[in-house]
Amino acid sequence: MSSPSVILPPATLGMLGGGQLGRFFVAAAHEMGYKVWVLDPDANSPAGLIADRHLCAAYEDFAALDELAANCAAITTEFENVPATTLAYLAKFIPVRPSAEAVSVCQNRIVEKTFLRDNGLPHGHFIPVTTEADLEAANAGLFPGILKVARFGYDGKGQAVVNNRDEALTAFRTFKGEHCVLEQKLSLDYEVSVVLARDEQGRVKCFPTAENQHTRGILDVSIVPARASACLADNAQEIAERIAEKLGYIGTLAVEFFVSKGQLYVNEMAPRPHNSGHYTIDACINSQYEQQVRALCGLPLGEARAHSASVMVNLLGELWYEGGHAHGQYREPDWNQLYAIPNLKLHLYGKHHARPGRKMGHFTVVGEQLDTVLATALAARKAIGIAD
C-alpha cells in the first residue's frame, strides 16, 4: 500500500519483537519524540518493559495485530523469525518496513543462499537438503561441510560440522528431517559484518565494517574499524549495498561475511539491527537504531560515520553464575570492574533471568587508537570474569 512520505513525532510506531534490539529501538524512538507499542508473547520482554504499550500476544494473534495496525503509523521488526504472513497482513493497513518479501528471503537458508547465487553475490558452495537422497547425491567436494537447518537456526544452533557423507546423514536424521543446506566448509581467515540503513528512495548509509570474533557460535567481540584492508572493508560495504538493493530493502540490514584466503563470502543476512552493530550506539554520529527509526518514518538517514574506534564485548548469561556454568551459584557480576573504566559504556538489557548463552548485555570501549581500545576491552573482559 502507499504510505505517507514522512511520519513525524508524536506518532506511535509498532515493533514486532521485544528483545534487546527492540529495546534499543524503543529508546531511540523515545529520544526522537515517538511513542512505541511492542508486540511480543513474553510478559518480561526487555522492549515491552519500556514501551508505551506492550501487547503480550502471539505474532499470529489477529486481534492483537488489528489493534497494532489501528493505533500505529508504521511497523518494523527486531526479529527475523516473526512470520512473514504477519508482516504481509499488517502491510494491508499501514507501512511495514522491511517488507514481508525481504524478510522472508532472510528467514530460510535455502531461499537466502539461492538469492545470493541468482544475484551473482559471493557465497560458498551449497546444496539444498530436503531428503536423505540429496545428501547421497551430493558432490564429494562439499565435504568437509556444515549442515544447517533452513529455519530458526541462530547463534550456532541447528548446525553440525560434517566431515563426510555418513556424518551428514547422521546429522540430518538428528535434525529430524528438517530442510537444511549443506555448505562447503571454508578455511576461515576471520569474519566481518556490515550494518547499513536504506531508505524508501534507495539511498544507503553504511556503518564502518566490523571485525567479529565468535565463541561457540555466539558473537563475543566486535572490533571497529575491522583490521582488514581498506579495499576489503569497502568491498564488503558494496556487496551489502547490492543485497539491500536487490531485496528492495527499507530499514536497517546486517550482512555477515566470512573472509577465506583473502576473499569475501556472504554468510547470512539479518533483516534488522544486529549484535555486531551495538558499537554504533556509542561510537557513531547516529546509531543503527536511530537509522531504523528514520528509515521507518521516511526521515532523511543520519550520518553513519564513526567518531571513535571501538570494541564491543557481549555479556552472556554464564557470567551470572559462579564458575561460569548453570550449576554454579547465581550472583550479580561485579559491575565495579567495568564502571572503573572511564571510556567504557555498559548496557544491560533488563532480561528477567540469566541463563548460559543468553545475551544479557554488552559493553563498548571507545577511544582514538584501536590498539589501546582493544587492549582495554580485553582486559575488562577478563576482569569481569569472561573466560578465554
The distance between the two most distant Cα atoms of the chain, rounded to a whole number of Å, is: 59
Quote the pLDDT of residue 217.
Answer: 85
Task: Clarify whether residues 155 and 303 are in a common domain.
Answer: no
Q: Is 257 exposed, middle or buried, given 0-12, 13-18 or 19+ CB atoms closer than 10 A?
A: buried
**CA distances, 30 to each of 5, 71, 235 (Å):** 21, 17, 35
User: Where does a domain end: 141, 156, 184?
Assistant: 184
Query: Are 276 and 256 within 8 A, CB to CB?
Result: yes
CATH number of residue 50's parent domain: 3.40.50.20
Evaluate whether residue 7 is within a structural domain.
no
Could you tell me the pTM of the whole model? 0.95
Task: Clarify whether residues 233 and 354 are in a common domain.
Answer: yes
User: Where does a domain end: 184, 212, 235?
Assistant: 184
Cell numbers standing for residue 144? 568437509
Owner of C-alpha cell 524508501: 200
Residue 131 phi/psi, 5-degree rounding, is -145, 165
DSSP assignment of 218-279: EEEEEEES-SS-HHHHHHHHHHHHHHHHHHT--EEEEEEEEEETTEEEEEEEESS--GGGTT
Task: Clarify whether residues 179 and 258 are in a common domain.
Answer: no
Helix intervals (H) in the chain? 20-31, 46-50, 62-71, 84-90, 100-107, 109-118, 132-136, 165-174, 230-247, 280-283, 288-297, 336-339, 370-383
Evaluate whether residue 109 is within a structural domain.
no
Task: Clarify whether residues 283 and 362 are in a common domain.
Answer: yes
What pLDDT digit, counting tens, does each position of 220-253 carry? Answer: 999 999 999 999 999 999 999 999 999 999 999 9
Of 151 and 110, more confident: 110
Task: Clarify whether residues 374 and 243 are in a common domain.
Answer: yes
Q: Three-state SS for 311?
A: strand
Owner of C-alpha cell 531508505: 199
Mean pLDDT score of the chain: 95
Quote the pLDDT of residue 378.
Answer: 98
DSSP 353: -
Q: Is the predicted pLDDT of residue 268 greater than 60, yes or no? A: yes
User: Where does a domain end: 162, 184, 206?
Assistant: 184
Owner of C-alpha cell 556424518: 167
Residue 29 phi/psi, 5-degree rounding, is -65, -40
Task: Clarify whether residues 160 and 60 are in a common domain.
Answer: no
Question: pLDDT confidence of 9, banded at 50, 70, 90?
Answer: very high
Task: Clarify whether residues 207 and 321 are in a common domain.
Answer: yes
Task: Clarify whether residues 177 and 198 are in a common domain.
Answer: no
Q: Which of 12-16, 26-30, 159-163, 302-306 has the lowest mean pLDDT?
A: 159-163
Going edge to edge, which strands form the sheet with 145-149? Answer: 126-129, 180-184, 145-149, 159-162
Task: Clarify whether residues 130 and 275 are in a common domain.
Answer: no
Separation of alpha carbons 45 and 84, rounded Å: 21
Range of the domain at 164: 125-184
Task: Clarify whether residues 239 and 147 are in a common domain.
Answer: no
How many domains are contained in the chain? Answer: 3
Task: Clarify whether residues 210 and 343 are in a common domain.
Answer: yes
